[in-house]
């Protein structure tokens, strides 16, 4: 259910890909110059487009057109998953030597219809050692008619010998702005009305994964009967109310430990998501830094922040020194990775509050 939008709006051409511009450019140039490598490695966080780009690339190298037409026989068969020349292996579920052995036998035979047989091996780090070694042998001398695209979320588990035999692309997290734009396009196509503030919050919470952002939007759409606003989305994902964020921002700027700790305590009792809280606080202080450095940035923020919230930020930006924002942002940023290991989820933020409010020098 939560993957509906993700599948429905999965990009089908290089043009439609969100983010990863450098990678897309390099791959398109390779196709144009007919300099196709026989083994690629796509590494990077989940939901950043590795499999999507692999599939488009698989069609592009086989289609008559460089940008896959998605209509010709080969394209159509690749899209439907019926082609014998596109083999997708999920190493997370089939990690054994048998699969790789049959793969080694399979690559010897020529493609049925396409120019290249394409093997997409997802989560390739999950293969057993034996399977990995077998794959390595295959990569040493891949036949001309075969292209391997290996994908992984855990590059450090991939042997150097594999990396050196592939053309390696590192996928980055997708920027918040790109994610927000992609969500807004979906909303337009779905013909629903959603506050830009909502898409911005989802973009922040999704941490660079378009797939996560799209399933959050899905979740939000199915939880609501029609048009809905930011408060509802906050409720669905345990995101703090704007008022809470504004009070916290104020307390930190005023070095008011009592109020700040009180807000954390109350929020914790009410089941606030500490991670979301910290993220949105970081977001707020980044906005303050930007506004302080360049007041024109307000017109950017006006695209998704409600007027009253932007006015509040503008006031704080002009009333405080840049150094203060930087110090607070630093402490909040240090607290963020500690969320993963902290004994209590609210502890990293509490400690950051003490550090921020205890520092009387700035």
Contacts with Zn ion by CB under 5 A lie at: 63, 69, 72, 75
Q: Which of 149, 174, 125 is closest to 30 using CA atoms?
A: 149
Q: Tell me the closest approach of the beta carbon of residue 271 to Zn ion, in angstroms.
A: 51
Q: Tell me the closest approach of the beta carbon of residue 40 to Zn ion, in angstroms.
A: 20
Closer to Zn ion by Cβ: residue 71 or 188: 71
Closer to Zn ion by Cβ: residue 63 or 278: 63
Closer to Zn ion by Cβ: residue 23 or 75: 75
Q: Tell me the closest approach of the beta carbon of residue 63 to Zn ion, in angstroms.
A: 3
Q: Tell me the closest approach of the beta carbon of residue 243 to Zn ion, in angstroms.
A: 54
Q: Tell me the closest approach of the beta carbon of residue 62 to Zn ion, in angstroms.
A: 7
List the Cα angle 150/154/160 in 5-degree steps.
Answer: 70
List the Cα angle 7/11/14 in 5-degree steps.
Answer: 160
Closer to Zn ion by Cβ: residue 72 or 276: 72
Closer to Zn ion by Cβ: residue 57 or 132: 57
Q: Are 209 and 240 in contact (CB under 8 A)?
A: no
Residues 6+ apart with CB under 8 A from 350: 261, 264
Closer to Zn ion by Cβ: residue 43 or 83: 83
Cα 172 from Cα 209, distance rounded (Å): 9
Q: Tell me the closest approach of the beta carbon of residue 117 to Zn ion, in angstroms.
A: 16
Closer to Zn ion by Cβ: residue 58 or 183: 58
Closer to Zn ion by Cβ: residue 63 or 103: 63
Q: Tell me the closest approach of the beta carbon of residue 20 to Zn ion, in angstroms.
A: 22
Residues 6+ apart with CB under 8 A from 158: 41, 43, 124, 125, 150, 152
Neighbours of 362 (CB within 10 A): 11
Q: Do the strands 86-90 and 117-122 form a parallel or antiparallel pair, or are they unpaired?
A: parallel
Closer to Zn ion by Cβ: residue 61 or 63: 63
Q: Tell me the closest approach of the beta carbon of residue 348 to Zn ion, in angstroms.
A: 51
* Joined tokens for residue 299: 């017109």
Closer to Zn ion by Cβ: residue 54 or 281: 54
Length of the chain equals: 362
CA of residue 59 relative to chain centroid, distance: 24
Cα 232 from Cα 229, distance rounded (Å): 6
Give the long-range contacts of residues 156-165, CB within 8 A, separation 24 or more: 157/125, 158/41, 158/43, 158/124, 158/125, 159/132, 161/136, 162/41, 162/124, 162/132, 162/135, 162/136, 163/41, 165/39, 165/136, 165/139, 165/140
Q: Tell me the closest approach of the beta carbon of residue 71 to Zn ion, in angstroms.
A: 6
Look up residue 138 and give its DSSP letter.
H
Task: List, in sequence order, the alpha helices (H) in 3-95.
Answer: 4-8, 21-32, 50-60, 73-80
Neighbours of 113 (CB within 10 A): 12
Q: In what order do the strands lie in the sheet with 117-122?
A: 86-90, 117-122, 146-152, 39-43, 167-170
Q: Tell me the closest approach of the beta carbon of residue 75 to Zn ion, in angstroms.
A: 3
């Amino acid at each position: 259910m939560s993957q509906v939008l993700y599948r429905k709006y999965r990009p089908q051409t290089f043009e439609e890909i969100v983010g990863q511009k450098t990678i897309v450019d390099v791959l398109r140039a390779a196709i144009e110059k007919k300099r196709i490598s026989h083994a690629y490695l796509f590494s990077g966080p989940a939901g950043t487009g590795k499999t999507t780009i692999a599939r488009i690339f698989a069609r592009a190298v086989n289609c008559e057109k460089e940008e896959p037409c998605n209509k010709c026989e080969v394209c159509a068969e690749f899209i439907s998953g019926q082609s014998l020349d596109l083999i997708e292996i999920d190493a997370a579920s089939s990690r054994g030597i048998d699969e790789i052995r049959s793969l080694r036998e399979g690559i010897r035979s020529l493609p049925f219809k396409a120019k290249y047989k394409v093997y997409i091996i997802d989560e390739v780090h999950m293969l057993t050692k034996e399977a990995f070694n077998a794959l390595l042998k295959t990569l040493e001398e891949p036949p001309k008619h075969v292209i391997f695209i290996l994908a992984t979320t855990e590059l450090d588990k991939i042997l150097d010998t594999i990396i050196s035999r592939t053309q390696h692309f590192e996928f980055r997290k997708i920027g918040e702005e790109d994610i927000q734009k992609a969500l807004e396009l979906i909303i337009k196509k779905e013909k629903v009305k959603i506050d830009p503030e909502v898409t911005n919050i989802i973009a922040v919470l999704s941490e660079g994964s378009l797939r996560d952002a799209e399933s959050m939007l899905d979740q939000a759409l199915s939880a609501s009967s029609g048009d809905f606003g930011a408060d509802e989305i906050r409720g669905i994902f345990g995101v703090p109310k704007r008022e809470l964020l504004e009070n916290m921002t104020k307390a930190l700027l005023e070095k008011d430990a009592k109020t700040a700790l009180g807000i954390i305590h109350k929020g914790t009792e009410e089941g606030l998501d500490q991670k979301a809280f910290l993220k949105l606080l970081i977001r707020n202080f980044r906005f303050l830094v930007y506004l302080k450095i360049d007041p024109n940035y307000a017109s950017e923020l006006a695209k998704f922040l409600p007027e009253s919230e932007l006015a509040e930020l503008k006031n704080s930006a002009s009333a405080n020194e840049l150094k203060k924002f930087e110090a607070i942002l630093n402490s909040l940023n240090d607290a963020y990775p500690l969320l993963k290991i902290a004994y209590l989820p609210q502890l990293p933020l509490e400690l950051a509050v003490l550090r921020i409010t205890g520092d009387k020098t700035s």
